[in-house]
Amino acid sequence: MCPQTTEGRLVPSPSTYVSDVYLVRHAHADWGPDEDRPLSAQGRMAARRVAEILAPFPIDGIYSSPARRARETVAPLAESLGLPILVEPDLRERQLGDSSEADFQRAVEATWRDPRSAYPGGESNAVAQQRGVAVVSRLLQHAGAHRVLATHGNLLALVLQHFDPTVGFPFWQSLTMPDIYRLIVGRSGEAAIDRLWECEGNR
């Protein structure tokens, strides 16, 4: 396994880790307003690769955002391991809301500059991060847990930022569909990050 960098900086591994989560960003789905949209053919192929990468790890639970594209991304893994996919509502994507900014990237960037701000009908980065980190903390309460969490780009980045403050908007921009990050939590609460998708030469 190659060492992980976030924002180009090496993240040291804890000397002794207790638990880990595998944060999976969903694979490609054709764009549409329906949150229940399925993976594209490209996405289904990538989901099989996600299963190949994660199957060798001692995974004991698979959790997913309610979104169909997230569930379908880890479905081949669940089938391979004989584990159910447990829907976790708080793994849903951060709701951007109604932005007057026509450029989606610029609208997202503004939320990273001011994490407590939110567009009308939307959710701030701070609030989304809080619920995402709460899921991770709850699922890692028991030492030795190895959990897969299928989620979305913004929420994945926000969870990692909690453990590594260098994670920001450029990091979110660099995420691929799918993407896989292993978050390792040590005995004293220290954490380290491995990017498994990049290490496997899938970028």
- Spans of all domains in the chain: 18-199
User: 191 pLDDT band (50/70/90 cuts)?
Assistant: confident
Q: What is the pLDDT of residues 48-65, one digit of tens each?
A: 999 999 999 999 999 999
Residue 11 has pLDDT above 60, yes or no: no
Most trustworthy range by pLDDT among 11-25, 60-74, 131-145: 60-74
Tokens of 157: 């980045």
User: 5 pLDDT band (50/70/90 cuts)?
Assistant: very low
Q: Which residues pair with 22 in a beta bridge?
A: 148, 182
CA contacts within 13 A on the Cβ side of 105: 6
Among 73, 142, 154, smallest CA distance to 112 is for 154
Contacts for 135 with CB less than 8 Å, ≥ 6 apart:
63, 88, 90, 91, 149
Lowest mean pLDDT among 70-84, 136-150, 155-169: 136-150
For 135-170, b/e burial (b = at least 16 CB within 10 A) is bbeebbeeeebbbbbbbbbbbbbbbbbbbbeebbbe
User: 8 pLDDT band (50/70/90 cuts)?
Assistant: very low
Q: Is the pTM of this model over 0.75?
A: yes
Residue 189 has pLDDT above 80, yes or no: no
Contacts for 48 with CB less than 8 Å, ≥ 6 apart:
76
Domain 18-199: CATH superfamily, name plus number:
Phosphoglycerate mutase-like (3.40.50.1240)
Amino acid 141: pLDDT: 82
Q: Which residues pair with 148 in a beta bridge?
A: 22, 62
Measured CA to CA, the distance from residue 20 to residue 145 in angstroms comes to 6
Tokens of 63: 């959790």
The average confidence (pLDDT) of the chain is 85
Tokens of 199: 């290490």
